[in-house]
Structures are given as structure tokens and as C-alpha cells.
Amino acid sequence: MTTDITIRRLATTADYAAAEELQQVAWESGPIEAVPSHLMVTLQHEGGLVLGAFLPEGLLVGLVLGFLGRDAAGLKHCSHMAATHPAYRGHDIAYRLKLAQRAILLDEGPALCTWTYDPLLYPNATLNLSKLGAISRVYRRNIYGLMRDGLNSDLPTDRLYMRWEVTGERAAHCAAGGRIEAPVAATLLTEVAFDNGGPILTATRPLPAAPIPVGIQIPRDFLAVKRAVPAAALGWRMATRALFEAAFAAGYTVVNFTPDGDGLGRYTLEAS
């Protein structure tokens, strides 16, 4: 079914109305949290990019939204949102949307695309690092404040800030169907135990004296941990925050994410 998806720019009133609805379904939110149609239309016509993934019957099942931004080096594309309908997750829709986004940026520029995501979400980490080849050197605490949607409520909205060099070797390798094969860090900074509510982060270790690759683990299903043991979810947030911030301050870069067995995934960070 999903092999017949068409990816194109949103164009009609019905497209934008469907995009508002998709946001609410994907994030279990109300209308006030959705980017409204009039803003998406403006972005589309004024240098931004709003792409949708459509089934043959016209159903919108995926969305990516971004706009022009600027940093000290010049113009970049800020990819603010990527959403997949819950019923169609696991079919590489977000990956295909990001590749379509990259193709347009290769044609129209700019060459840098940035975004943020929750570092405790396993599928997002896999997509952003292993399947797209983005990297991160920046951790942002509670960037959006407390949010009201079902996925983000009750926890600080900490995010990793991703850099995706769309003309770079990592992005080209992934666009050709490859995956990032950076060494999996053997030195873990996390200690994890398991109970009926899932994995619990019990302790952390300091960075090693030598600049060797290090690993930070996260649960495969953080949202399930959050529902079952809210205190454990907060523990994951605060402890991994400290680890990422310490690693970035010491000059490390997040370069890959891999499955780790036992309901866990592992970030690999390398010294720059």
C-alpha cells in the first residue's frame, strides 16, 4: 500500500486542512497546537517548503514543514516539523519525505538543513542519525516549555539540535540507501535496570579521560515508560540531559544511533 505514496508540495485548501488534522492525530493534540493553514500557505509561497505524503486515494499520511533561516554562516533551511499518521508508521514515510526535502534543497538551496527532536525517542533517533546521516553537537533544554499534547506533556521539552549537510557524504550515502556505520561505542555512560514498567536508568558514568567513542542508551519505547512509570521517564530526561551536555562541552559529536538489545538503543558520540 505505502509503495504507491506520492510526495508533493501541499497546494489546495483541502491539502492544508488535512495537514492541520494530521498534526493533531500525530501528536495527540488539540487544534491550538497545530500550525494553521494560513501560516503553512504563507510558508509555501514565501521561501518555505511544506511537503505531504499522499496515498493514491488522496489521504495525507505524512508531512514535513520548513522555512528559511539564518545562522552565522548564512542561510539554512529550518525543518520545523515532520509528522506521520500513526496508522502508517513503520513504512519509511518520514524518511521518504526527508529525501524529497533534500532533493529540493539540492536544486534550490540552501545546503544546510537543521531541526530539533526529542533525544529519548528511538524511532526519531534512528531516522535522523542512522538513516539520514545528520549529526548533533548541541543540546537545548526545555526549548518549547511545557507542552499540552499527548506526546510531550509532563516533561521538559529537551531537544537535540541536528545539522544535516544535504550535499555532504553522509547524506548522499544515506540517500543512496546506505546507513551510517560509525563504530558502536563500547564505553557506556549509562547503567540500566529493568522492571515491569520497562528500562530504568539507574546510574551514569563520567566521561573517560581519553577521547574515545562513548555510548548513551535510551529506551526503545520511551512513551511506554512515561505512561507506566512517570518518575522513571523524568529520570531518563534529567540524566541523559546531563550526559549529552557534558559530552558536548568536552567536544563530542553525536554521530550514530543503533539498536542495543533488551529494549534499548545506543547513541554513539565521537570526540571531534
Encode pLDDT of 87-102 as tens digits.
999 999 999 999 999 9
CA–CA separation, 161 and 140 (whole Å): 7
Which residue is associated with the grid cell 529493568? Answer: 194
Domain assignment present for 181: no
- pLDDT of 1 reads 47
Query: Is the domain of 196 the same as that of 162?
Result: no
Domain assignment present for 27: yes
Q: Of 128, 124, 125, 111, nearest to 77 (Cα)? A: 111
Instruction: Give the list of residues 6+ apart from residue 181 with CB closer than 8 angstroms, or none.
Output: 256
pTM, full prediction: 0.94
Query: Is the domain of 159 the same as that of 55?
Result: yes
Q: Name the amino acid, one letter, at 47.
A: G
Domain termination residue (choose one: 175, 205, 224):
175
Domain termination residue (choose one: 151, 175, 199):
175
Q: Where in the sequence is the domain holding 33, given as residue range(s)?
A: 2-175
Query: Is the domain of 142 the same as that of 192?
Result: no
Domain termination residue (choose one: 145, 175, 205):
175
Query: Is the domain of 169 the same as that of 51?
Result: yes
CA-based torsion, 41, 175, 260, 137: positive or negative: negative
Which CATH number covers residue 64?
3.40.630.30
β partners of residue 62:
53, 84
Query: Is the domain of 33 the same as that of 72?
Result: yes
β partners of residue 112:
165
Domain count for the chain, please give it: 2
Residue numbers of the chain with a pLDDT score lower than 50: 1
